Amino acid sequence: MALSPDDVAALARLARIELTDEELAHLAPQLDVILESVTRVADVAADDIPPTSHALPLTNVFREDVVRPCLPREAVLAGAPATEQDRFRVPRILGEEA
């Protein structure tokens, strides 16, 4: 399998984490060891076994369609890194060229 620092960089980009070169070099061998160990699950012959995604048999849960008060706006915005005009302020979402 041998995960290279470049592979880790690609995964980190997908996960939106800006890793440094030192981190990539440090993490790659560690992740490799972990993956090698978890690959043991492939040793189990389980072709005809149904997957379990959840410990309990789940069915959809409905509630009565009753209006309930939601959190006050100030309470929700109080934990935001930046707000403007009673809203979340976010950095630009389009590229320079857009």
Partner 1 sequence: MSSPSTGSGIIASTAAELAGAIASGEISAVEVTRAHLARIAAVDDTIHAFLYVDGERALARAAAVDAKVAAGDKLGPLAGVPLALKDVLTYTGAPTTCGSKILQGWIPPYNATVTQRLLDADIVILGKTNMDEFAMGSSTENSAYGPTRNPWDTDRIPGGSGGGSAAALAAFEAPLAIGSDTGGSIRQPASVTGTVGVKPTYGGTSRYGLVAMASSLDQPGPCARTVLDAALLHEVIAGHDPCDSTSIDAPVPPIVEAARSGDVAGLKIGVVAELAGEGYAPGVEQRFRESVELLAGLGAEIIEVSCPHFTYALGAYYLIMPSEASSNLAKFDAMRFGLRVGDDGTHSAEQVMSLTREAGFGAEVKRRIIIGTYALSSGYYDAYYGQAQKVRTLISRDFESAFSSVDVLVSPSTPITAFPLGEKVDDPLAMYLNDLCTIPSNLAGNASASFPIGLAPEDGLPVGLQVMAPPLADDRLYRVGAALERELTARWGGPLLDRIRDLQEVAT
The contact set with partner 1 (CB under 8 A) reads 3, 8, 11-20, 23, 27, 30-31, 33-35, 37-44, 46, 49-56, 58, 61, 63, 71, 75-76, 78-82, 88, 90-95
Nearer to partner 1, 6 or 78 (CB): 78
- Report how far residue 11's alpha carbon sits from residue 15's, in angstroms, rounded to the nearest whole number: 6
Q: How far is the CB of 36 from partner 1 (least distance, A)?
A: 9
Nearer to partner 1, 58 or 67 (CB): 58
Contact 8, 28 (CB under 8 A): yes
Contact 11, 27 (CB under 8 A): no
Beta-bridge mates of residue 88: 83
